[in-house]
C-alpha cells in the first residue's frame, strides 16, 4: 500500500533527508587514504546522534552499523571494516536517519586519490542517471518511466550492468515503503506517480556484469566479476510540476571539491 504524504509530512522527510546529506558532506570532508570505513561509520553515527536523530540502518533486520560503506566491488550494504582506504578506491556511502517519525535515505560514491578514467566515467554516468530518472518522476508518469530512463542511459548507452536484485523504494514512516522503484523496466508500467508520493531513487550501476552475490558476512553485496560499482540516491517527492528533491548533494559536492584527497573531476 502506498502512503501519500501531506505537506507537513513531506517537510519532515525533507528534514531527515537533509540531515543525511549533511552527514554525507561530513564524510566527504573526512575520507582520505589511511582512514578506515569503521572510523567513517563512527563519525556519521556521532553526527546523527548529535542532531537528535537515530541511524535508520542500525539494527534494521539486524544490520550492525549506522552506514553501509561499500568499497570497489562491493555494490551496496557494505559492512564498515578496519581496512584502510587507499588511492584508487571507489567508496559508496549509504546513510539513513530517523527523526520526528520520518526517515531520510541518501547515498553518494566517492573516489579516493587517483581514480582510473573508467571509474570516473562510471561515477559520472551513474550520478547523471539518477537525474535522468528524476526528470521522469512527473505527475501522471509511472515508476517504469523512471526505471526505463536509468536503464536506457546506463545499460543501453554506456554498456554498464544495472543491478536487478536491489531497487529504490517509497519512504516515510518506514525506511522501505511501497512502491518498489527498480532501475530497469518498461515505460508506462508500474505504479502511477501521484502528488505526495515520496520515493528514494537509487541507481546501483556496475562497470561490468549486472550479476551480484552475497558476501560471507551475510550483508555486503558484491559484483560477480569483481569489477567496481557506483551508487547515488536521492529522496524525492512528486509534485504538480517537476519533482521536489528532498535530499541535496550541494554540500557533499562542495566538500568533495575542497578535499584534495578525493577525486572531484569525474
Ligand atoms: Mg540508501
Ligand atoms: Mg534506499
Contact 58, 94 (CB under 8 A): no
pLDDT band at 22 (very low <50, low <70, confident <90, very high): very high
Question: How far does residue 105's CA lie from ligand 2's centre (Å)?
Answer: 5
13 Cα to the center of ligand 2, angstroms: 13
C-alpha 181/C-alpha 199 separation (Å) is 8
Shortest CA distance to 229 belongs to which of 199, 252, 209? 209
Q: Round to whole Å and give the CA distance between 200 and 181.
A: 8
Q: Look at residue 23 and give its three-state secondary structure.
A: helix
CB 227 within 8 A of CB 211: no
> What is the structure's pLDDT at 23?
98
Q: How far is the CA of 169 from the centre of ligand 1 (A)?
A: 9
Written as nine digits, the cell of 114 is: 587517483
- Which stretches within the chain are classed as H helix? 7-30, 37-50, 117-135, 143-151, 250-258
Q: Residue 95 CA: which ligand is closest? A: 1
Q: Which ligand is nearest to the CA of 175?
A: 2
For cell 556484469, what's the residue?
Answer: 209
- Of the listed ligands, the closest to the CA of 231 is 1
CA 166/CA 94 separation, integer angstroms: 14
Quickly name the fold that domain 7-264 has: Creatine Amidinohydrolase (3.90.230)
d(CA 223, CA 61): 22
Instruction: For residue 261, count other CB atoms closer than 10 A to its CB.
Output: 16
Ligand 1 geometric centre to CA of 68 (Å): 8
In the chain, where are the structural domains located? Answer: 7-264
In the reported structure, the alpha carbon of residue 76 is separated from the centroid of ligand 1 by a whole-number distance in angstroms of 9
Q: Cα separation of 211 and 166, whole Å?
A: 11
What integer pLDDT is reported at residue 98 of this predicted model? Answer: 98
Lowest mean pLDDT among 3-7, 101-105, 149-153, 238-242: 238-242
Cell of 240: 504538480
108: how many CB neighbours lie within 10 A of its CB? 27
> What is the rounded average pLDDT of the residues 177-198?
98
CA 88 to ligand 2 centroid distance, Å: 26
CA angle 193, 167, 154 (to 5 degrees): 90
Q: Give the model confidence (pLDDT) of 229-244 as tens digits.
A: 999 999 999 999 899 9
Average pLDDT over residues 9-37: 98
- β-partners of residue 230 are 205
Task: Locate 182 and state its grid cell.
Answer: 527498480
What is the number of the ligand closest to the CA of 199?
A: 2
> How far does residue 225's CA lie from ligand 1's centre (Å)?
23
| Residue 45: per-residue pLDDT | 98
Query: What distances in angstroms separate CA 140 from CA 6, 10, 256, one per listed residue?
Result: 18, 19, 36
pLDDT, one tens digit per residue, over 82-132 is 999 999 999 999 999 999 999 999 999 999 999 999 999 999 999 999 999
Q: Are 182 and 167 in contact (CB under 8 A)?
A: yes
Q: Tell me the pLDDT of the chain averaged across its residues.
A: 98
Instruction: Indicate which ligand has the atom closest to the C-alpha of 24.
Output: 1
**pLDDT score of 131:** 98
CA of 238 to the centre of ligand 1 (A): 19
CA of 201 to the centre of ligand 2 (A): 7
Average pLDDT over residues 130-157: 98
pLDDT at 68: 98
Confidence grade of residue 184 (pLDDT, cut at 50, 70, 90):
very high
Write down the pLDDT at residue 173. 98
Q: How far is the CA of 106 from the centre of ligand 1 (A)?
A: 5
Ligand 2 mean position to 264 CA, how many Å? 24
Packed helices 7-30 and 37-50: angle between N→C axes, nearest 10 degrees: 140
For residue 92, which ligand has an atom nearest its CA? 1
Task: Specify the pLDDT at position 133.
Answer: 98
Question: pTM (2 decimals)?
Answer: 0.98
What is residue 213's predicted lDDT score, i.e. its pLDDT?
Answer: 98
In degrees, rounded to 5, the angle at the alpha carbon of residue 205 between the alpha carbons of residues 39 and 54 is 40
Q: Which residues pair with 252 in a beta bridge?
A: none
Angular region, 77: left φ>0, alpha ψ -120 to 50, beta rest: left
Amino acid at each position: 500500500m502506498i502512503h501519500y504524504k501531506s505537506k507537513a509530512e513531506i517537510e519532515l522527510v525533507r528534514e531527515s533527508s537533509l540531515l543525511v546529506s549533511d552527514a554525507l558532506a561530513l564524510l566527504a570532508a573526512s575520507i582520505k587514504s589511511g582512514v578506515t570505513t569503521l572510523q567513517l561509520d563512527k563519525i556519521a553515527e556521532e553526527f546523527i546522534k548529535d542532531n537528535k536523530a537515530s541511524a535508520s540502518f542500525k539494527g534494521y533486520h539486524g544490520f550492525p552499523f549506522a552506514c553501509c560503506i561499500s568499497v570497489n566491488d562491493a555494490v551496496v550494504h557494505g559492512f564498515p571494516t578496519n581496512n584502510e582506504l587507499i588511492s584508487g578506491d571507489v567508496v559508496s556511502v549509504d546513510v539513513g536517519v530517523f527523526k520526528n517519525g520520518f526517515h531520510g535515505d541518501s547515498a553518494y560514491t566517492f573516489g579516493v586519490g587517483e581514480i582510473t578514467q573508467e571509474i570516473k566515467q562510471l561515477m559520472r554516468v551513474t550520478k547523471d542517471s539518477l537525474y535522468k530518472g528524476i526528470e521522469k518522476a512527473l505527475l501522471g508518469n509511472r515508476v517504469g518511466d523512471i526505471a526505463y530512463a536509468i536503464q536506457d542511459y546506463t545499460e543501453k548507452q554506456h554498456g554498464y550492468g544495472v543491478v536487478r536484485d536491489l531497487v529504490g523504494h517509497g519512504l516515510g514512516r518506514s525506511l522501505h515503503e511501497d512502491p518498489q522503484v527498480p532501475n530497469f523496466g518498461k515505460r508506462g508500467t508500474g505504479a502511477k506517480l501521484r502528488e505526495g508520493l515520496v520515493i528514494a531513487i537509487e541507481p546501483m550501476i556496475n562497470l561490468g556484469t549486472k550479476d551480484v552475490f552475497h558476501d560471507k558476512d551475510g550483508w555486503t553485496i558484491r559484483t560477480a566479476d569483481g569489477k567496481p560499482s557506483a551508487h547515488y540516491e536521492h529522496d524525492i517527492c512528486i509534485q504538480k510540476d517537476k519533482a521536489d528533491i528532498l535530499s541535496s548533494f550541494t554540500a557533499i559536492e562542495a566538500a568533495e571539491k575542497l578535499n584534495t584527497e578525493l577525486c572531484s573531476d569525474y
